[in-house]
Structure formats: C-alpha cells, structure tokens
A and B are shown apart, each in its own frame.
Chain A
C-alpha cells in the first residue's frame, strides 16, 4: 500500500520567513495530494491540493509543488504569520476505488514573533 513520509517533524521560523515542508510517497498510482492544517484539538482543514497533471499550484501565501517522477511534493508558506502555527499533514490518494487518504506523520510549525 501507499506510504507517505513527511519532513521535518518540527519547524520553527521567524514571522515573515518562509516555511517548506516536504513529503514523499511510494505508490505511483497516487495522483491527488492534499495538505491539511490541524490546530490543537480541531479538525484537519484542507488548505490546498494538487492533482498529478499539474506541477505547481499557488493560493496567496501558500503553494504546493509536485514532482511525479521523484514522487515528492512540497508545501511552501511565504510571509509566515503567528496564525500559521499548527500541525500540517500531507496526504496522497489514488483516484478510483475508495479514494482513501494516506497521511504523512505531520509537521509541527511554530511561527515565532
């Protein structure tokens, strides 16, 4: 089955700096890659996603890049703000069947003032 690795497990940046979180996946059948933000005790919230026919997608301060050949994808947050502090999870999913999400192990992002 699919295995998603995520790095780093913790990331501390100064406010205004950029943050990059990286994930790799193992199953070449995966073609949908969402990113979720989870604040303490809250639900995972979808912040951006990318499908395999696209190499990059941007939404304001957040961008995701995908390299299908290397089976890795990354989340980029620019101009970080304290409210960006949370745990970020990457995930991968194939189309077809149940479309289950296989999650990475999460990155605790802390944006310091």
Chain B
C-alpha cells in the first residue's frame, strides 16, 4: 500500500540556520499538508497546498516558512532561520479529493 515518505528522519541544526524538510506524497494525491507536533503535545496545522499554491496557512506559518513542490513528486518545507522553538516533529500529509489525510513518518527537527 502506498505511503507518504519523508526525509530526513532526524535533522539537527544550529539556531539561525536554514533547513529543508522533504516529503514525497502518495502519487495520485492532490492536496498536501505540513503539520508539526511539539513533544507531548497535539498535532498542529501549518499549511495546505493545492494546485501549486498555498490554500491555507496558520499563524505559525510566518515569513520564515515556505513550501514548494519543485517537481512532480516532492513537497518541501523550508524554515529560513530556525529558532529554538521550531524544535518539533514535522509531519507531511496528503490526500485525494476525498477528505482522508495520510501522514508521513515525520522528521524530528532539533534546533540547538
């Protein structure tokens, strides 16, 4: 059964550095999402993406964040200048035109 994949599984970076988190959504899915989960807390929505543009974003998704679908398979989240509070698990999700969202395994981002 196809699954969403994400790389890397763990990223350690210094505060102020740029990071790019990568996702490969399920191939026939049309809608893509990034969520984050701070350790021990609930999953929080960051951004949704459809037809090569952002369809909705949360207040967390400020100017330091950007998303891109650089080719037909990858979907990336860039954090331009990481802060300590960006440390979290970042999940990519995708769905078809139905509502079910399927999550990737996550990237654990640690900002030192």
Contact = CB atoms under 8 A, between A and B. Distances in A.
Interface in A69-113: 89, 91, 93, 95, 97-106
Interface of A: 32, 34, 36, 42-46, 49, 51, 89, 91, 93, 95, 97-106
Contacts of A98: 31, 33, 48, 50, 55-56
B12 interface: no
A34 B95 CA distance: 13
A105 B42 contact: yes
Nearest to B59: A1
Interface stretch (B62-70, B78-86, B96-104): B96-104
B99 A99 contact: yes
A89 B42 contact: yes
Given A97-B56, A99-B95, A100-B56, A46 B43 contact: no
Given A44-B43, A106-B42, A99 B48 contact: yes
B91 A104 contact: no
Contact of A103 (B31, B43, B100): B43
Residue from B44, B55, B99 with most neighbouring chain A CB atoms (10 Å): B99
B12 to A, nearest CB: 16
Nearest to B54: A98
8 contacts: A32-B99, A34-B100, A43-B103, A43-B104, A99-B31, A100-B45, A105-B41, A106-B42
A-B pairs with lowest CB-CB distance, top 4 = A98-B56, A98-B48, A98-B55, A100-B45
Given A43-B105, A98-B48, A98-B56, A49 B99 contact: yes
